[in-house]
Each structure stands twice: as structure tokens, then as C-alpha cells.
């Protein structure tokens, strides 16, 4: 979703600076399609599927080879429960504009949502390796999250480590790694991950709770109490802090 949003915003900026002429029919239709695709996406985000569908169908009629229109139409079809149509249009968008990797990113997310994990991970990897993608660490992290949903924790760790290789201080990926380490009973590694995050001022209720769990698993009451104190003083209204009180 966020992947397409960034494309929508970029296209909107470009359209605002463009003018049309009567003898440029093809260009005009392309711009009209993109304007309607942007409007459709706005309605889509607002939850108005009826208007989103109307606008995006108009965009497709205006220019069936417009990548943005195809991508948004695929998202609308996915929300409507038409998986085959969503697959067709999201994959077409990725093929129509390979220089805009966000379309392929959206297709990878769709594949994951549909439980087609192998295809999704291949697609995520392809997107992350595309030098035109601005945040490959986010793509690798999304691949890790997809693998976790399928209980493929080994694959998840591979992808989250790739995210951290690109951006070593990427907080969400560091926390995912700590969770994976704890899940595989590498409690010492999980605790080390938490302590590094604390040292880098990346503490949160979730991180502190992981510190408590890891320290207790290692029979380290001193460290467990440290993270309990952090939860109760810095995050007293979180469910993690409330869980400790019960």
C-alpha cells in the first residue's frame, strides 16, 4: 500500500507541472488516466470502493498501458476479493514500468497476502536488488515479515539480516531479529540485541518486554528487573507494562 502511495504522490507532482495541447491526444489520455488513477487511489484509501472502482475503470479505458492505473486497479480488485484480476493487473503494472520498483513491491505484497510465499519472497528479493529502489532495507524487512506469517523463521532471519546489512541501525529489523533469536531459544543473542537497541536509544515497550523475557529465560533477575523498571516508568500505560502487573 505505502509503495503505491509514494508513486501516486510523485505522479501528482509531475502532473501539476504539465500542460496539454490539442494535438497530443495520446499524451493527454495518459495524463487523464493518471489523474483518474490518483483520484481512485484517494477514494480507495478513504474506503470508498464504489467511487474508486468507477475512477480506476475510467483510467484503464483511457490508457490500458498506464502502469499506475494498472497497479491501483489491481489493489481495488484485491480489496473486492477478485484475486485473479488483482494478480493480472498488479503483475502487469510491474512489467509495464520496471524502472518504478514500487509496482513490483506492491505485487510482492499481494503474493504474500495470497499465501504464495515462495513467489512473494522471490519478488521481494528482486525488488530489493533493483538499484532504483530507494529503501531496499524496507523491502527485505517486508520479506521477513511475510516469511514469519508462513512460519518460515529461517527465511525470515535471512531477510532481516539483509535489511540490517543495508541499514545496520534499522530499529524495526533489529527488533524482529531479537524476536527470531528468542523464538529459536537463543536467549543470549536476543538479550544482546535488546541491549544494543537500548544503547542506541531505540528503546520501546516492545523492546523492554523482550529484554524482560530474555533475561528471565537466562535466569538473570538483575537484568530482568532493569527492563521491568523501564516498562513501569517509561511505558506505564502499555499492555506490556500491564501484563507484568497481572
In whole angstroms, what is the distance from residue 115 CA to residue 127 CA? Answer: 19
Q: If DSSP codes are grouped into helix, strand and coil, which group holds residue 225?
A: helix
16-38 pLDDT, tens per residue? 444 444 545 566 888 999 999 99
H runs (alpha helix) in the chain: 2-16, 25-45, 49-62, 67-79, 83-96, 101-113, 117-129, 136-149, 153-166, 171-183, 187-199, 205-217, 221-234, 239-245
d(CA 15, CA 235): 45
pLDDT, the chain, mean: 91
Q: At what angle do helices 136-149 and 171-183 cross, to 10 degrees?
A: 30
Other C-beta atoms within 10 Å of 20: how many? 11
**Residue pLDDT, tens place only, 186-208:** 999 999 999 999 999 999 999 99
Percent of the chain topping pLDDT 90 = 86
Q: How far apart are CA 188 and CA 206, in angstroms?
A: 17
Instruction: Determine how many CB atoms are found less than 10 A away from the CB of residue 73.
Output: 28
User: Predicted confidence band at 158 (pLDDT cuts at 50, 70, 90)?
Assistant: very high
pTM of the model: 0.85
Amino acid at each position: 500500500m505505502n509503495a503505491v502511495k509514494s508513486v501516486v504522490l510523485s505522479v501528482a507532482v509531475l502532473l501539476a507541472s504539465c500542460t496539454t495541447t490539442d494535438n497530443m491526444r495520446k499524451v493527454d489520455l495518459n495524463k487523464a488516466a493518471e489523474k483518474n488513477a490518483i483520484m481512485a487511489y484517494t477514494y480507495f484509501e478513504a474506503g470508498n470502493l464504489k467511487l474508486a472502482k468507477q475512477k480506476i475503470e475510467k483510467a484503464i479505458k483511457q490508457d490500458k498501458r498506464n502502469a499506475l492505473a494498472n497497479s491501483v486497479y489491481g489493489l481495488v480488485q484485491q480489496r473486492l476479493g477478485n484475486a485473479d484480476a488483482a494478480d493480472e493487473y498488479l503483475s502487469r503494472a510491474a512489467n509495464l514500468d520496471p524502472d518504478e520498483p514500487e509496482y513490483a513491491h506492491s505485487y510482492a505484497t499481494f503474493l504474500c497476502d495470497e499465501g504464495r510465499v515462495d513467489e512473494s519472497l522471490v519478488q521481494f528479493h528482486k525488488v530489493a536488488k533493483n538499484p532504483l529502489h530507494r529503501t531496499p532495507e524496507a523491502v527485505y524487512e517486508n520479506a521477513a515479515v511475510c516469511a514469519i506469517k508462513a512460519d518460515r523463521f529461517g527465511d525470515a532471519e535471512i531477510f532481516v539480516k539483509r535489511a540490517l546489512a543495508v541499514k545496520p541501525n534499522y530499529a524495526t529489523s533489529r527488533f524482529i531479529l531479537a524476536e527470531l533469536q528468542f523464538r529459536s531459544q537463543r536467549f543470549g543473542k536476543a538479550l544482546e540485541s535488546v541491549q544494543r537497541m537500548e544503547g542506541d536509544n531505540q528503546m520501546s515497550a516492545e523492546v523492554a518486554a523482550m529484554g524482560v523475557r530474555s533475561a528471565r529465560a537466562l535466569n538473570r533477575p538483575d537484568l530482568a528487573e532493569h527492563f521491568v523498571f523501564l516498562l513501569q516508568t517509561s511505558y506505564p500505560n502499555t499492555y506490556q507494562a500491564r501484563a507484568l502487573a497481572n
